[in-house]
Amino acid sequence: MAKEGSKTQPPSRERKIDISVLTQSLLAVALGFVAGGIMIAAAGYSPVVAYGVLLKGAFGDFDSIAETLAQATPLILTGLGVAVAFLEGCFNIGAEGQLFMGAFLAFLGGYLIAMPAPIHIPFVILMGIIGGAGWAILPAILKVKRGAHEVVTTIMMNWIGILLTSYLTLYHFLEPTASIPETPIINSSAVLPIIVPRTGLSASFLVALICVLVIYYMLKKMPLGYNIRAVGLNPSAAEYGGIAVSRVWVTGMLISGALCGLGGAGVTLGSYRRFVDRFSPGYGFDGIAVALIGRNNPIGALLAAIFIGALYSGSVYMRLITHMPKELVMAIEGIIIVFAAIPEATRLVRMAVEHWRFWRAR
């Protein structure tokens, strides 16, 4: 097969099906729907009807599309954040805590300070970034200095963040007239306006889109992106190539935290215009699924977030029309997401082992 000097080696396994990453992901999503359909049928409903309603609920008209995008907005940002971390070999399970801190700091900036809107909006967005990134600093430093595994530390930071913001809301910023624990409304100059009237879609969606583009550019066109990917794929080789592995690692983690914090800020500034205690139904954790389904690619994360957003907004409609129990709907959502996430998850497990060896040897 080869001339002198030999050329490419044959693929190691003959039966390996060679399909592109995209087809692989679409196939996984399709299988997820099949599995969900079996579940729907087993529960005595018609999968065709249920999925039809789901689709109509998610993309049926202009308003429902806007609602889907609104659902997707925080997921785009947390998914992007988790993906950046994954790319450098970091398992940022702390997206949820970073989201809460970003949301709360954005509230503080919007509530305590008054400025003209053109300065106020960038300021509160920056506060969201600081909140998220700040919440990622400690796990990042513990990792590079002491080797503490980020999965453990970020999970702990989640609870500190959720409970800290809960405490601050209840004891220092509680809106007295409200029926649920929440803060007063922020100054109007800090509000991200609604861009589609009568829906929840605010300008935070545009912020998320800009982030997708910025991260895409960073990964493709900046040495930092090269370094992050190099550290993720082979930390030993990155070190050998003169990349300051610890510094890149911390930087990537801060970017990841900043994006998650922005996700929270978007909810505060755009949707509720205040901080609502425990507002997140798990945007941070869903961010992990978004990153996995999107194969750690910024564009992929955008599409995956819209996919999950559609699933959520469509399933509300599906429940209303078909009268399925809420638990069944959640189980269907879950099984579809698990199926879709599997191809990338298997690859990441292998990567995790390699990284564990690298940091242990330090």
20 binds other proteins (CB under 8 A): no
Task: List the interface residues with other proteins, window 100-159 (CB under 8 A).
Answer: none
Q: Which of 22, 237, 320, 353 binds other proteins (CB under 8 A)?
A: 237
Q: In the complex with other proteins, which residue's Cβ is closer, 247 or 326?
A: 247
Window contacting other proteins (CB under 8 A); options: 122-130, 133-141, 216-224, 310-318: 216-224
By CB neighbour count within 10 A (0-12 exposed, 13-18 middle, 19+ buried), where does 18 fall? exposed
14 binds other proteins (CB under 8 A): yes
346 binds other proteins (CB under 8 A): no
Window contacting other proteins (CB under 8 A); options: 155-163, 238-246, 248-256, 273-281: 238-246
Q: Which of 155, 184, 239, 342 binds other proteins (CB under 8 A)?
A: 239
Kindly report each contact of residues 108-111 with a partner whose C-beta sits within 8 Å and lies 24 or more positions away, as own/partner: 109/190, 110/186, 110/187, 110/190, 110/191, 110/268, 110/269, 111/173, 111/183, 111/184, 111/186, 111/187, 111/274
In whole angstroms, give the CA distance from residue 34 to residue 335.
Answer: 10
349 binds other proteins (CB under 8 A): no
229 binds other proteins (CB under 8 A): yes
- Tell me the CA distances in angstroms from 336 to 25, 46, 56, one per residue in order: 12, 17, 18
Window contacting other proteins (CB under 8 A); options: 120-128, 157-165, 235-243, 318-326: 235-243
**Measured on CA atoms in the order 293, 296, 302, 305, is the torsion positive or negative?**
positive
Q: In the complex with other proteins, which residue's Cβ is closer, 241 or 281?
A: 241
User: Taking the complex as a whole, how short is the minimal distance between the CB of residue 99 and other proteins, in angstroms?
Assistant: 28
6 binds other proteins (CB under 8 A): yes
Window contacting other proteins (CB under 8 A); options: 11-19, 29-37, 88-96, 329-337: 11-19
Number of residues engaging other proteins in binding (CB under 8 A): 35
11 binds other proteins (CB under 8 A): yes
Is-contact 260 305, C-beta < 8 A?
no
Read off the DSSP letter of residue 179: S
230 binds other proteins (CB under 8 A): yes
Q: Which of 130, 238, 255, 260 binds other proteins (CB under 8 A)?
A: 238
Q: In the complex with other proteins, which residue's Cβ is closer, 15 or 198?
A: 15
61 binds other proteins (CB under 8 A): no
Q: Which of 74, 225, 263, 270 binds other proteins (CB under 8 A)?
A: 225
In whole angstroms, give the CA distance from residue 76 to residue 290.
Answer: 8
CB atoms near residue 156 (< 10 Å): 16
2 binds other proteins (CB under 8 A): yes
Is-contact 264 101, C-beta < 8 A?
yes
Q: Which of 21, 244, 299, 320 binds other proteins (CB under 8 A)?
A: 244
**Measured on CA atoms in the order 352, 357, 358, 362, is the torsion positive or negative?**
positive
228 binds other proteins (CB under 8 A): no
> One-letter amino acid identity for 218?
M
β-bridge partners, 182 = 276
Kindly report each contact of residues 142-145 with a partner whose C-beta sits within 8 Å and lies 24 or more positions away, as own/partner: 143/90, 143/249, 143/253, 143/359, 144/246, 144/249, 144/250
Q: Which of 23, 30, 188, 220 binds other proteins (CB under 8 A)?
A: 220
Instruction: Please report, as ranges, the residues that interact with other proteins according to CB under 8 A.
Output: 1-11, 14, 18, 220-227, 229-230, 233-234, 236-244, 361
